[in-house]
Amino acid sequence: MVMSIAHRATGIANYAGSALLVLWLAAAAWGQEPLNVVNAIYGSWFGQLVLFLYSWSLIHHMLGGLKHFVWDFAEMMEPGQREMLSWATLVGSVVLTLLVWTIFVWVR
């Protein structure tokens, strides 16, 4: 139940977040100066926080989608199993997000 709401919420967050991606691409296409502005905003602590949450939202929504693929084959639907699967998507998304940021941003 809660994870169904989370899937919808992250879906809507990704919907809005797509504007961030397109804004970055458009600034790059436009010229160096607009790109500098976008890079400064996205590179600020608040920008990085938003991008961190956006990346978690994307990963969580992807794992939630994979969970639905499993359920489409009528697997893992028993009580206990489905809760376990939902917890796996939550833990998995947090671990994956931290892994990506650790490898590609913080340690790099």
Partner 1 sequence: MREQVITPQVIANPKSKYGNAKASTRHFITQRLSGAINIAFLGLLLFVVVQLAGQDRADMVATLGNAWIGVPLALLLVIVTVHMRNGMRDTLEDYFAGRSYQLLMMLNTVFCILIALVGVASIFKLVFWG
d(CA 59, CA 93): 6
Q: Is 60 exposed, middle or buried (0-12, 13-18, 19+ CB in 10 A)?
A: buried
User: Is residue 22 within 8 Å of residue 62, measured between CB atoms?
Assistant: no
Q: Does 8 bind partner 1 (CB under 8 A)?
A: yes
Alpha helices in 31-80 (DSSP H): 32-43, 45-72
- 7 known ligand binder: no
Indicate which single residue of 28, 37, 84, 99 sits in contact with partner 1 (rule: CB under 8 A): 28
State which of residues 14, 70, 76, 88 lies at the interface with partner 1 (CB under 8 A).
14
Is there binding between residue 69 and partner 1 (CB under 8 A)? yes
Q: Given the rule CB under 8 A, which residues bind partner 1?
A: 8, 11-12, 14-15, 18-19, 21-22, 25-26, 28-32, 35, 39, 42-43, 58-59, 62, 65, 68-69, 72, 100, 104
Numbered residues of the known binding site: 61
